[in-house]
Structure 1
């Protein structure tokens, strides 16, 4: 199997899209891939000619290929055409959809911000930009992230509707722990402006993780959850 064929298979790039160019000399442990689509246009003498997608090229970090960072270069097509393309990213977003889902899954598992940067070889600025856009409802996720099961029987599972009830404000608790008050206030502000269902799920996981980590000092709050 040729390199281009292997990359097509690995990155799930299918016709009419194809890898037009590959370089491995633009950064240490980095593979840059240019993806283009052959768009049909009318030509002279009743013939049809193919031309590459026109527009401004965007660049996204994609899921690693082995130990190498994968950088995708492409022109964003129309929204209807690009909805299912996981190797593409949103405008002004540093990551492809597939890589964004991988990162979101790590956050759902409770991996710290610093650890995500270290494990995926990510610049702090890029990850901060990504998380900031999620928190402010400016970006979404196109697929589900990984979910972790609750360890304690006292704490509802991450996908329990009670967490979204708390985040939406439909469920109110008498909270005695200041750090929980501050966290819940922040998450509710974010939740109110986030429309993407999967990013909302990410926020629910974040709240559930807090309860899991601080279970011993949240007996008062957990007793109220048990009544709902």
Structure 2
């Protein structure tokens, strides 16, 4: 039986998504916490490789790069059943923070993981569920969402196929809803909540539409969302706030009859 060989550290880095000139320089595994710590660098090869260039002309010698003393780290996407934390001691340029395997200076997540979290938030996944699925601390996710709410982060939202299909089904005309749900009371409730794409939600969240609100929780949520939207520069984050308001109304529509009666689809 032929023995299997371990991947060299550089090839392991490529396997988890690194692209040249970045490479993995060190890797440790904590079996207790099921965590992989991966150190990466954009320097040249190790000293053993550089020795081959000692007798080469000076112009052919690889220039050495100085690393910083600070060990910067970000949580990356999982590797199999292990959490993955990326480290680097290299001095970084502003463009480096846009790489998928690195993150912003004040962010706990790499760009790749941050985009996945943003996608889940836009799809309406509960924050506690995101923490459990991705195995990330709630405090770090809360800070991430806080930065989103205040326009400090910007991502492009791409609705999933399942979500697009759901929106299409939600935008069926009343006749189609009647055929799918013969119960008159259920049809009336479904029609009362406008589709998430209806302009009524934007008019409501931007203050263009004012309604009489008797439910305190809705009043508090709408006040918070209006304040956040007024400070946002990202259209995608604004959409996320609209979806948050729409999900709240959908979940509590039984006690929001007074408010829903005032929401007329545009």
Shorter-chain TM-score tier: 0.7 to 0.9
Mapped pair 1:120 → 2:134: yes
Deviation at 1:159, TM superposition (A): 4.8
- State the aligned residue count: 221
TM-score scaled by structure 2? 0.69
Deviation by residue 1:16-75 (Cα, 9 ceiling, x = unmatched)? 222222221386211111222238xxxx94445244474444211111122211111134
- Where does 1:74-223 land on structure 2 (aligned, <5 Å)? 74=88, 75=90, 77-83=92-98, 85-138=99-152, 140-144=153-157, 146=159, 148=163, 149=166, 152=190, 154-223=192-261
Q: Is the 8 A contact 1:93 1:130 kept in 2?
A: yes
Which 10-residue stretch deviates more, 188-197 or 92-101? Answer: 188-197
**Residue 36 of structure 1 corresponds to which residue in structure 2?**
41
Q: Distance in 2 between matches of 1:196 and 1:170?
A: 19
TM-score scaled by structure 1? 0.79
Q: Distance in 2 between matches of 1:168 and 1:35?
A: 45
Q: Is the 8 A contact 1:63 1:99 kept in 2?
A: yes
Q: Is the 8 A contact 2:211 2:259 kept in 1?
A: yes
Gaps spanning 5+ residues in structure 1: where? none
Mapped pair 1:8 → 2:14: yes
Judging by fraction of residues, say which structure has more strand: 1
Q: Distance in 2 between matches of 1:93 and 1:101?
A: 12
**Residue 49 of structure 1 corresponds to which residue in structure 2?**
62
